[in-house]
Amino acid sequence: MMKKNVLITGASGFIGSYLVETALRKGYNTIAAIRKSSNKQYLKDPAIHFLEFDFTSDLTLDHAIREFVDRFGKIDYVIHNAGVTRANKNEEYDQVNCENTKRLVHALQRNSQVPDKFVLISSLAAYGPAKNASPVKATDPKEPLTAYGRSKLKAEEFLYTLKEFPFVIINPTAVYGPKDKDVFFLINSIQKGFEVYIGNKGQLLSFVHAADLAAAIFIAMESDVLGKNFLVSDRQVYTSAAFNQQIKTILQKKTLSIVMPVALVRTVAVFAEMVGTITGKVPILNRERLKEFEAPNWAVDSSEIDLLGYHPKFNLEAGLNDAIEWYKEQGWLS
């Protein structure tokens, strides 16, 4: 049997590297779409095929697709995972998360390479937080809080306008695991003895380990389902305090708990944004991010993907142990 081809965009990123590993393990001919500037440190397997993918124009996309067909044949599946989660300018979210998705889809259509399934990696941010005490459901109205969430929603809405284009959309909650830098920031501050809360309300949170997310994405891709959103988490709901407690238990750390007033954090965020504009580096905290910290409920109901046979392997305890062990091995955590 010929191996099926899967094209994975954003392959050089955190989640992309798990998608590549999963694709190889499942026996796909795995084509990692990367940029000239992409770091390949997590893409060392010699079985990976690399293809330079430049989303900036129709011409460069046509070129990449033609090169794909010449080298590998038909594009069976596309997992469109490339995206920006943090940006200094809101237009960048729209350009990368929405416009690049449109350009890629149009290029596939133009080059008669509509795949058997196109999987868009969107985000829980496209839905926004839960409107009440219940977890967010895939059928809930989508009311994003942030420019990031709105850009993901625009890409989703574009897909829903298409006729005869087979797609599914994955909306992961917060993703963590070895290689991740965002949750690492929290783990590292606890390691240094600080536990920071913004406001004093506490939050309901959900998480998914990147390996479980990658498994869920392939389940949705290989299923017969089309034109549907799948929220993905580890099926559990955690309070922010329980999340921090889990990290403290693993690290065997006592911390100084600091509750920062929202107004103060907003001032810090404005300052961080100004520094970001000058240095060109995107700060971990900005006013958009703050909106996410203020929302009380980010729990999700992942039952739609569960029905397709998704069984997460990692609860938070196992997943954080896995991540922290990796951070220690890599020297990220002392």
Residues that bind ligand NAP (CB under 6 A): 10, 12-16, 35, 37-39, 55, 81-85, 96, 121, 123, 172, 174-175
Q: How far is the CB of 122 from ligand NAP (least distance, A)?
A: 7
Gap between the Cα atoms of 125 and 173, Å rounded: 8
Q: In the bound complex, which residue of the shown chain has the CB atom lying closest to ligand NAP?
A: 13
Which residue, 123 or 203, is less far from ligand NAP as judged by CB? 123
The nearer residue to ligand NAP, 176 or 255, going by C-beta atoms, is 176
- Where are the alpha helices (H) located in the chain, listed in sequence order? 14-25, 58-72, 90-93, 100-110, 147-161, 182-191, 210-222, 240-251, 262-279, 287-294, 303-306, 316-329
Instruction: Sort residue 94 into left (φ over 0), alpha (ψ -120 to 50) or beta.
Output: alpha
Amino acid identity of residue 245, one-letter, is: Q
Q: How far is the CB of 21 from ligand NAP (least distance, A)?
A: 13
Query: Least distance from C-beta 256 to ligand NAP, angstroms?
Result: 27
Which residue, 126 or 265, is less far from ligand NAP as judged by CB? 126
What is the smallest separation between the CB atom of 253 and ligand NAP, expressed in angstroms? 24
Longest Cα–Cα distance of the chain, Å, equals: 61
Q: For residues 102 and 253, which CB has a smaller minimum distance to ligand NAP in the complex? A: 102
Minimum distance from CB of 85 to ligand NAP (Å)? 5
* Angstrom distance (rounded) from CA 220 to CA 30: 17
Nearest distance from C-beta of residue 125 to ligand NAP, angstroms: 7
Nearer to ligand NAP, 16 or 115 (CB): 16
Count, residues in the chain? 334
Q: In what order do the strands lie in the sheet with 229-232?
A: 49-52, 29-34, 5-9, 77-80, 117-121, 167-172, 229-232
Task: Pick the closer one to ligand NAP by CB: 123 or 146.
Answer: 123
Which value, in Å, is the radius of gyration of the alpha carbons in the chain?
Answer: 20
